[in-house]
């Protein structure tokens, strides 16, 4: 299996689009890759050391399994030396044989009773590498197997002292399982809050410039892969300063919020609306050619002109000027695309505002 490399742009920090909704996935990937590589080094070191010890005491099958696991960890270290897109698959490719070797060591008849402390590591490693949901299931499966092995060993030996010792290990594993779960839940919540703060505009709730840049990386990758068009519409409210000057900044904010809602309600599920700053907004329209984007922009311009906000009995209406551009070369980045849309927008401003310019 040849690993897919992450592009220079950080495409595995992905964003799914949907009416301004920015759902961010696998944001922990860089951190998990570092943890995975640290564990691979540890596996190699501990595997070789433990294999030497087991060889000296004559546990040859366990020593062979440990050497095999250390060799496999070397291969995974090589594969993950750079960022990979399908990191989760490589994490599972490490964790499944690692935990299976651990289960084999627990089950092996001549193994030391202290080998039973190793499964305690499973919840910590699983949650660190796989996150809350997959980590939970992975831990449940492997701790259940470990428990079954413990049970089997107790009934086989009938050693009551072993029952007390194993009960300690099981209780300790259960506590670590619970703590790992609680830690991962709070970590995920904190990460979501931080990412929302970094990627969303606090006034309108739409994604900001950074959020748009992140979503663009993914959309451009899809457009290139499937040969589909991608259009951008840049929108600037006309004479917005007059709204602020006449009704106050607070009313200006309300107008901006209403405007953002108008954009969102006019768009398709797959489109993304962003506030780039001030009274400047942008739309990203995946699988949309420039002609269709122009029609969408016209529909939007019409909806903006028709809508109005109320302030102390005053009816506040705004108009907007829109510039449209389409991704048209392999080298096109967000900046060049926005610059093209911006030039058209300013043509529209110079020509009298309240219009769409697409070419």
Ligand X SMILES: Nc1nc2c(ncn2[C@@H]2O[C@H](COP(=O)(O)OP(=O)(O)OP(=O)(O)O)[C@@H](O)[C@H]2O)c(=O)[nH]1
Size of the site for ligand X (CB under 6 A): 16
The one segment of 24-32, 82-90, 241-249, 325-333 that binds ligand X by CB under 6 A: 241-249
- 239 is a contact residue toward ligand X (CB under 6 A): yes
Query: For ligand X, which is the closer residue by CB, 133 or 239?
Result: 239
Residue 48 near residue 67, CB atoms below 8 Å? yes
Q: What share of the chain is helix, strand, coil (3-state, %, to 5)?
A: 65, 10, 25
Query: For ligand X, which is the closer residue by CB, 183 or 346?
Result: 346
Distance CA 284, CA 263 (A): 12
- 178 is a contact residue toward ligand X (CB under 6 A): no
Residue 279 annotated as catalytic: yes
Distance CA 106, CA 67 (A): 16
Radius of gyration of the chain (CA): 29
Kindly state the helix (H) or strand (E) to which residue 114 belongs, with its residue range. Answer: none
Out of 128, 129, 256, 273, which residue is the one contacting ligand X (CB under 6 A)?
256
Classify residue 9 by its DSSP letter: S
* Alpha helices (runs of H) in 238-316, residue ranges in sequence order: 240-247, 249-266, 290-306
The one segment of 31-39, 184-192, 210-218, 250-258 that binds ligand X by CB under 6 A: 250-258
Distance CA 149, CA 105 (A): 10
Out of 81, 193, 224, 241, which residue is the one contacting ligand X (CB under 6 A)?
241
The one segment of 33-41, 233-241, 283-291, 307-315 that binds ligand X by CB under 6 A: 233-241
The one segment of 4-12, 55-63, 183-191, 247-255 that binds ligand X by CB under 6 A: 247-255
- 279 is a contact residue toward ligand X (CB under 6 A): yes
**Cα dihedral angle (225, 13, 215, 134), rounded to 10 degrees?**
90
- 236 is a contact residue toward ligand X (CB under 6 A): yes
Distance CA 73, CA 58 (A): 24
Q: At closest approach, how far in Å is the CB of 342 from ligand X? A: 12
Query: For ligand X, which is the closer residue by CB, 26 or 244?
Result: 244
Residue 20 near residue 270, CB atoms below 8 Å? no
Out of 228, 244, 270, 336, which residue is the one contacting ligand X (CB under 6 A)?
244
Residues known to be catalytic? 279
Contact residues toward ligand X (CB under 6 A) are 203, 236-241, 244, 249, 252-253, 256, 278-279, 349, 353
């Amino acid at each position: 299996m040849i690993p897919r490399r992450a592009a220079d742009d950080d495409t595995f920090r992905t964003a799914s689009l949907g009416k301004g909704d920015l759902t961010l996935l696998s944001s922990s990937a860089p951190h998990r890759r570092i943890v995975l590589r640290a564990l691979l080094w540890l596996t190699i070191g501990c595997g070789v050391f433990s294999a030497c010890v087991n060889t000296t005491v004559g546990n040859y099958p366990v020593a062979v399994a440990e050497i095999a696991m250390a060799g496999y960890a070397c291969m995974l270290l090589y594969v993950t030396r750079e960022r990979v897109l399908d990191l989760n698959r490589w994490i599972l490719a490490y964790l499944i044989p690692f935990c299976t070797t651990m289960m084999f060591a627990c089950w092996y008849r001549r193994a030391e009773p202290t080998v039973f402390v190793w499964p305690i590591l499973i919840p910590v490693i699983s949650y660190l590498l796989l996150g809350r949901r997959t980590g939970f299931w992975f831990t449940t499966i492997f701790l259940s197997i470990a428990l079954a092995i413990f049970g089997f060993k107790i009934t086989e030996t009938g050693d009551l002292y072993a029952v007390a010792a194993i009960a300690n290990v099981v209780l300790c594993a259960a506590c670590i399982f619970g703590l790992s779960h609680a830690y991962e839940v709070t970590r995920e919540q904190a990460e979501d809050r931080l990412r929302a703060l970094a990627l969303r505009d606090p006034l309108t709730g739409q994604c900001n410039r950074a959020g748009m840049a992140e979503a663009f990386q993914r959309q451009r990758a899809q457009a290139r892969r499937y040969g589909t068009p991608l259009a951008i519409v840049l929108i600037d409210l006309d004479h917005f300063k007059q709204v602020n000057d006449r009704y106050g900044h607070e009313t200006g904010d309300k107008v901006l919020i209403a405007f953002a809602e108008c954009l969102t309600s006019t768009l398709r599920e797959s489109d993304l609306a962003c506030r780039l700053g001030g009274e400047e907004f942008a739309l990203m329209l995946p699988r949309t050619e420039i002609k269709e984007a122009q029609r969408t922009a016209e529909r939007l311009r019409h909806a903006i002109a028709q809508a109005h906000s109320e302030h102390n009995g005053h009816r506040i209406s705004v108009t907007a000027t829109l510039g449209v551009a389409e991704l048209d070369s392999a080298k096109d980045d967000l900046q060049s695309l926005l610059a093209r849309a911006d030039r058209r927008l300013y043509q529209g401003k110079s020509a009298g505002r309240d219009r769409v310019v697409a070419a």
